[in-house]
Structure 1
Amino acid sequence: MASPFKDQSHHSLSLAKKLLPYAIYVLLPIAVIRLYLYTPSLPLISTDHLPHSREITISTSSPTPLPHISSSQEKAKETTSSCDYTRGKWVHEKLGPLYNGTTCGTIKEGQNCITHGRTDLGYLYWRWKPSKCQLPRFEPSTFLHLISNKHIAFVGDSMARNQLESLLCLLATASPPNLVYTDGEENKFRRWNFPSHNVNVSVYWSPFLVKGVEKSPNGPNYNKLYLDQVNEKWAADLGGFDMIVLSVGHWFLHPAVYFEGDDVLGCHFCPGLNHTEIEFYDVLRKAVRTTFNTIIERRGNGNGIDVVLTTFSPAHFEGEWDKNGACSKTKPYKEGEKQLEGMDAEMRQLEVEEVEAARANGEKFVGFRLEALDVTKLSLMRPDGHPGPYMNKFPFTDGVPERVQNDCVHWCLPGPIDTWNEILLEVMKKWNQGK
């Protein structure tokens, strides 16, 4: 069988390039990773309601008349016929977020920065302003209207969960959801129902999108990825999704052995194993391509599906993960102060390229729509939006400890990640216009 990878010779040209991600991610202790992944249990509610390489350019012209259209949406008419949400700057705004850490019961504890004692709340008062257009504030009623009687699923790693919980909190300001399903496995598979609009919102833990066996404390210190097969834990339910939001990237930085069928293709950072070293960029590309191809094969038969891939979200470790100050900035980077480059740029680029290729592949199928939610650059500019030491409750109650765990990967809720869902709503409004 022919290898799915491009010429591998380039990976040996720059040892430093390969070692940079290792230094940032691979050395993080397993305990920290597991803390990031743990999600506290929520009370189980009755399941009676459970039904068994191009930057994104989005139209912001006035949508088809919908209920609850706000003045902020009307202002979008002043913009040009299209809006590039990837270019812009963060501007200070007195109007704060729609929700807070005490009014939304679905936030993972480690991202609930307010209730964990973070006092520098200036990070809550910034809005993303695109260079040549306006991004309306999130309209929960409009979002619910657009997905009435539908099922939207967030599939991927912990960034998918982070974005999901942001959306649930935003929507709950207009209509409270009911938790209608949880599998008990650290709440990695959950579903909520919004009775007001008969909307189902689910999360599926699948950090590789493709089939994978995660490393365990008692087993080999590497993951196993089967790059030609999707993870059926989410794909088996694909027929019931009306919209799917994918998020993937960070877990590909960890040591892994790669398979296609029964054949070992190689590995990433696996000293001691007699396998060819393969860069994770090629592996991520293959996994995303397999995912898109599977969705098209299973849903390209006329019943259609809306697909969104949220691009790679950069981390902001500026010191050791267990030292105070690992991500201590309290304001966004100014325009031009921080460049999108290196690993962050390459991860984002390959994801956008795969979206473009899959969109072309799916054009012949009625009802198949695909978009890149290109949030990499705007997220890169928000080093102030992570929990940092406030992944733990009141970490400085007894003074500043010598060592303190920091989360400089995920995002505080509320926080910059709410902007992702504002842009997601604009994608959905564009689709509603038939564009």
Structure 2
Amino acid sequence: MGTITSPFKDPSHHSLARKLLPYTIYVILPIAVLRLYLYTPSLPQSTDQLPHSTAITISTTSSSSSSPSSLPPFPSSQEVETGEETPCDYTSGNWVQDKLGPLYNGTTCATIKKGQNCITHGRPDLGYLFWRWKPKQCHIPRFEPNTFLQILRNKHIAFVGDSMARNQLESLLCMLATVSPPNLVYTDGEENKFRRWHFSSHNVSVSVYWSPFLVKGIEKSQDGPNYNKLYLDQVNERWAADMGQMDMIVLSVGHWFLHPAVYFEGDSVLGCHYCPGLNHSEIGFYDVLRKAIKTTLKAIIERRVANANGNGVNVIVTTFSPAHFEGEWDKAGACAKTKPYMEGEKQLEGMDAEMRQLEVEEVEAAKANGKKFAGFRLQALDVTKLSLMRPDGHPGPYMNPFPFADRVQERVQNDCVHWCLPGPIDTWNEIMLEVLNKWNNQGR
């Protein structure tokens, strides 16, 4: 398939302070994130190693079941987007205690990545499981797996991005598995970065595509240069080649843009981020992330929507998920909080706010550009603020099995980027289902 090309506009003239956001963030956090993405701990061979103090019982049945025949099919390209926004502002609210807990647990869901299986890895405090996000003006229903599967009946949903996309995908798989078992039908790539599951009960396919920049990128390696290469005018064909098979696309990136990188448009170098020793201009990563999202959404509209041949496509862009490192990332206590922040206790600001804002802006711009195409629906899944308020939801030292089993260690690696499963990330999929319900009702 051909390459999508688009001229790269000059970056916005940010203030010097904005271009040079504290290099402690630029240097320490990228190293930490990269380390976490590439590290794969081992699991105990048996759940028998789970201590009695961490054994819990969580309901694996949803609160209410919808009859598959009671819902209309997924909207087609003939159904016109009304332009109405989600009636509830899901970004403004508070975390409230919830006695029901999650739909699944870490010992019953087989698709959880090892590093996020906090219960099986011996996390002793389980209070983080019993919170629900409560928007100020509405209520988010408990996730209904049957409803989700019915809306996606005979469809293919693809999660495209970095390990946060994978984290959200695995949360969804666990919740859907409470009513229908997923069958792994395809796996490929290092650490199985390209996988597909099939829910035979509804003929639903769920895939994950590793693409941490969305656009074409060459990741740094031990044998090569110590920086990534990004080609900002070309979408990554490793996932885009399958775009025609996707009925719904969930995009999620962010953290990998903090890593050292050199940026290209075609064969021309545009600049770099944290590349001492190279004769390139430092341009940071904000405008680069913006361009990558712009190129990706433009490619979806031109290659998937304009040539839909009667089949529409629905796109979700999950906004930036903040990390919660406290102090040095590789020491114990890096994210030791056991309760959420309350409203007003933690402000959305700095890098987290900037990353979220540019993603929302690009989504709105692409929605305007795609209005002329029937069957194209696009929404930002704005989870940045509600995720910022959950410092307690990360694996922390329990990215590894029983890190304190022998003795209290001086240095224990922590994961304060990804989310425990089950955990706060389940809320992302609850909100996504609400978006699908809205689209489904518009289709009626």
TM-score (norm 2): 0.86
Give the aligned residue type for 2:332: N
Give the aligned residue type for 1:335: E
Q: Pick the aligned partner of 2:38 from 26, 34, 39.
A: 34
Q: Work out whether residues 94 and 136 of structure 2, in 8 Å CA contact, stay in contact via their aligned partners in 1.
A: yes
Q: Work out whether residues 298 and 366 of structure 2, in 8 Å CA contact, stay in contact via their aligned partners in 1.
A: yes
Distance in 2 of aligned mates of 1:339 and 1:66: 42
Name the SS of the counterpart of 2:196 in structure 1. strand
RMSD (Å), alpha carbons = 2.1
Deviation per residue, 1:230-250 (Å, 9 max, x gap): 100100000000000000100
Quote the residue 2:141 is aligned against. Answer: 136
Are 1:271 and 2:271 an aligned pair? no
The CA deviation at 1:279 is: 1.6
Give the aligned residue type for 2:128: Y
Name the SS of the counterpart of 1:424 in structure 2. helix
Q: Pick the aligned partner of 1:255 from 255, 260, 272.
A: 260
Deviation per residue, 1:61-114 (Å, 9 max, x gap): xxx996589xxxxxxxxxxx9211111000001111000001110000000000
CA distance 1:354–1:29, shift in 2 (3 Å): closer
Name the SS of the counterpart of 1:28 in structure 2. helix
The CA deviation at 1:13 is: 4.2
Matches within 5 A, 1:92-107: 92-107=97-112
Are 1:84 and 2:89 an aligned pair? yes
Are 1:288 and 2:262 an aligned pair? no
Distance in 1 of aligned mates of 2:18 and 2:430: 39
The CA deviation at 1:30 is: 5.3
Are 1:233 and 2:238 an aligned pair? yes
Q: Pick the aligned partner of 1:205 from 202, 205, 210.
A: 210
Q: Work out whether residues 180 and 191 of structure 1, in 8 Å CA contact, stay in contact via their aligned partners in 2.
A: yes
Distance in 2 of aligned mates of 1:82 and 1:39: 44
Name the SS of the counterpart of 2:132 in structure 1. strand
Give the aligned residue type for 1:367: G
Quote the residue 1:173 is aligned against. Answer: 178
Q: Pick the aligned partner of 1:19 from 11, 17, 23.
A: 23
Name the SS of the counterpart of 1:159 in structure 2. helix
Structure 2 residues not aligned, in runs of 5+ = 1-5, 44-65, 72-85
Distance in 2 of aligned mates of 1:2 and 1:211: 15
The CA deviation at 1:7 is: 3.7
TM-score (norm 1): 0.88
Name the SS of the counterpart of 1:186 in structure 2. helix
Name the SS of the counterpart of 2:197 in structure 1. strand
Name the SS of the counterpart of 1:113 in structure 2. coil
Q: Equivalent pairs: percent with the same residue?
A: 74
CA distance 1:145–1:125, shift in 2 (3 Å): same
Distance in 1 of aligned mates of 2:31 and 2:250: 30
Quote the residue 1:43 is aligned against. Answer: none
Are 1:339 and 2:373 an aligned pair? no
Name the SS of the counterpart of 2:234 in structure 1. strand
Matches within 5 A, 1:374-393: 374-393=382-401
Are 1:405 and 2:413 an aligned pair? yes
Quote the residue 1:72 is aligned against. Answer: none
Distance in 1 of aligned mates of 2:283 and 2:337: 35
Deviation per residue, 1:19-55 (Å, 9 max, x gap): 242144134385444116x899xxxxxxxxxxxxxxx
Distance in 2 of aligned mates of 1:282 and 1:292: 15
Q: Work out whether residues 387 and 408 of structure 1, in 8 Å CA contact, stay in contact via their aligned partners in 2.
A: yes
Distance in 2 of aligned mates of 1:190 and 1:30: 21
Deviation per residue, 1:206-254 (Å, 9 max, x gap): 0000000000012111000000001001000000000000001000000
Q: Work out whether residues 30 and 256 of structure 2, in 8 Å CA contact, stay in contact via their aligned partners in 1.
A: no
Distance in 1 of aligned mates of 2:12 and 2:319: 25
Q: Work out whether residues 68 and 141 of structure 1, in 8 Å CA contact, stay in contact via their aligned partners in 2.
A: no
The CA deviation at 1:321 is: 1.4
Are 1:115 and 2:115 an aligned pair? no
Give the aligned residue type for 1:399: R
CA distance 1:136–1:30, shift in 2 (3 Å): closer
Distance in 1 of aligned mates of 2:31 and 2:193: 25
Distance in 2 of aligned mates of 1:15 and 1:29: 21
